[in-house]
Amino acid sequence: MAKAVRAVTMIPPTINPLTRQAIVATVKRRVAGYARVSTDSDEQFTSYEAQIDYYTQYITSHADWEFVKVYTDEGISGLNTKHREGFNEMIRDALDGKIDLIVTKSVSRFARNTVDSLTTIRKLKDAGCECYFEKENIWTFDGKGELLLTIMSSLAQEESRSISENVTWGQRKRFADGKVSMPYKQFLGYEKGPDGLPKIVPEQAETVRYIYDLFMSGKTITAIAKQLTADGIPTPGGKEKWVGRTVESILTNEKYKGDARLQKKFTVDFLQKKMKVNEGEVPQYYVENSHEAIIDPLLFDRVQEEMARRKALGRSYSGKTIFSCRLICGDCGHYLGSKVWNSTDKYRRVIWQCNNKFKGECKCGTPHLTEEVIKAKFLEAYSQLLPERDRLIEDCRLMQETLTDCTELDREMKEQLQELEVVEELIKRCVDENSSAALNQDDYLARYNGLVDRYEKAEGKIKELEKKRTERMAKADAIGAFMFRLRELDQPLEHFDERLWLEVIDSVTVHRDGDLTFKFQNGKEITV
């Protein structure tokens, strides 16, 4: 009997495994376009509009394609998909089965981050949605598509890194050249002038001066924020409610005195665009007189000194009046605090007495004071300065020279920084030796801990020197403000001046006999 011939008949597939559509069916592919430009320039905007028009016509010209939509992102970087609303909407629609094919110009338009690009493509592939990149002629359902995409995405990412480095270099070059830029939309008081330099906005500048005046009148940062909100003054960002953080940033920003510290922050990750406060990792540049000042430099420096004083006092400073934390009991050394007498009738008055007066067995003998008495005695003490005005100004000038001469501090600082470098290297060698050879671990730990102690000691010394330097410069600024006021007011005062009080008085000691010893910013003491 003859052996039967085996017959094999191929049954063709009826469903595309990727699109899940019937092969014999004539269903049109649902196609979307994606357009993105990464800047807000006019040229790019034109490109943006052109991309939309191009993809609309390109898709509708294919008889077997059904136009869905052109998804767009304007002025958005391709490094990260997080803030690309148009892109994210397109991906959601594709995963929901609304799109079969996405057409875009190039891999770099889709994403410049290799991980984002491949992850997204694979998600779309699993959902049966293909992508076509015109420039590279890559179809993601093609066998070689993913390999080519990996290569092109990596190149796009490298291009972004290169662009980022060039931009960063350009910024740092501008910093080194002393060229100042500001985030004008979020910066109160300035706008970009026709010459590219900051230009004062008069109305906003008045708000800035108002903030400095409120602070120097004794108000706390929180109280200033509440006052600005109550006055209906908009924040730098155009909001109604002020917060203390915004007020503090205005009070501490050197740009308001016409200087500029550049590169306070820097980008640490070009992919995520993460910013970090510059703590010495990259150079900073300080430009003096870079633009027109809103706040007088002497006032700005006085504000910084007053802010440091308040922070040192901590919770003791209330900011309710200009006398807070300035009146000291001659018996116990505690501050005098305000008390209200007869608060509910017409004889109401505010008095100042030692906060420790009725605490403990030994009560302080210092008397209470009214604000009228404090003000009158201040006027008397200040008038006694005037006959010695010229000599005091010269003494202040010499004191300033001494305080601002930080040659010895800088020398010690340099020595300690060199010590840190040496110890860092010794610690590294110690760890490397222990990892590459069998050492006695007790000896190793003793050596290692000794080096760490040495490092921490040098680090502590540096912090101490920095603190001394800051204190010296703050004192020099305070003396500078004192000299300025002495030159300005060369006649006895008829009325109490709050600003003068804050600028020239360091502290006031209250004695048992009712006398007050006024200690001025230059160290001069007068008892009245």
pLDDT tens profile 342-352: 666 667 778 88
Model pLDDT, residue 13: 60
| Residue 232, φ and ψ in degrees, nearest 5 | 75, 25
| DSSP 3-state of 335 | strand
Residues 385, 390, 395, 397: is their CA dihedral positive or negative? positive
Please report the pLDDT score of residue 66 as a whole number.
92
Is residue 200 located within the same domain as residue 80?
Answer: no
| Model pTM above 0.85 | no
The whole-angstrom separation of Cα 215 and Cα 502 is 10
Overall domain count for the chain: 3
Which of 205, 222, 184 is closest to 256 using CA atoms?
205
Q: Residue 444: name the closest of 425, 431, 426 by CA.
A: 431
**What is the CATH classification number for the domain harbouring 65?**
3.40.50.1390
Tell me whether residue 3 is in a domain.
no
Are 121 and 101 in contact by the 8 Å Cβ rule? The answer is no
The pLDDT of residue 204: 92
Q: Flag whether 435 is in a domain.
A: yes
Q: Domain check: are 269 and 360 in the same one?
A: no
How far apart, in Å, are the Cα atoms of 27 and each of 19, 82, 213, 495? 11, 34, 73, 92
Mean of per-residue pLDDT scores for the chain: 78
Kind of pairing between the strands at 274-277 and 130-133: unpaired
Residues in the chain predicted with pLDDT less than 50, given as ranges, are 18, 24, 39-46, 77-80, 163-178, 266, 268-272
Q: What is the pLDDT of residues 303-325, one digit of tens each?
A: 887 887 777 766 556 666 788 88
Residue 135 lies in a domain: yes
On whether both 240 and 387 belong to a single domain, the answer is no
Shared domain check, 153 and 252:
no
| CATH code for position 350 | 1.10.287
Q: Which two tokens stand for residue 264?
A: 């306070």
pLDDT at site 44:
45
Angle between helix 441-488 and helix 389-404 axes, rounded to 10 deg: 160
Same domain, 342 and 288: no
* Claim to verify: residue 521 and residue 447 sit in the same structural domain: yes
**Residue 335: which residues within 8 A CB-CB, separation 6 or more?**
316, 324, 325, 327, 328, 329, 354, 355
Domain that holds residue 257: 192-295
Phi first, then psi, for residue 496 (nearest 5°) are -65, 135
- Percentage with pLDDT > 70 across the chain: 74
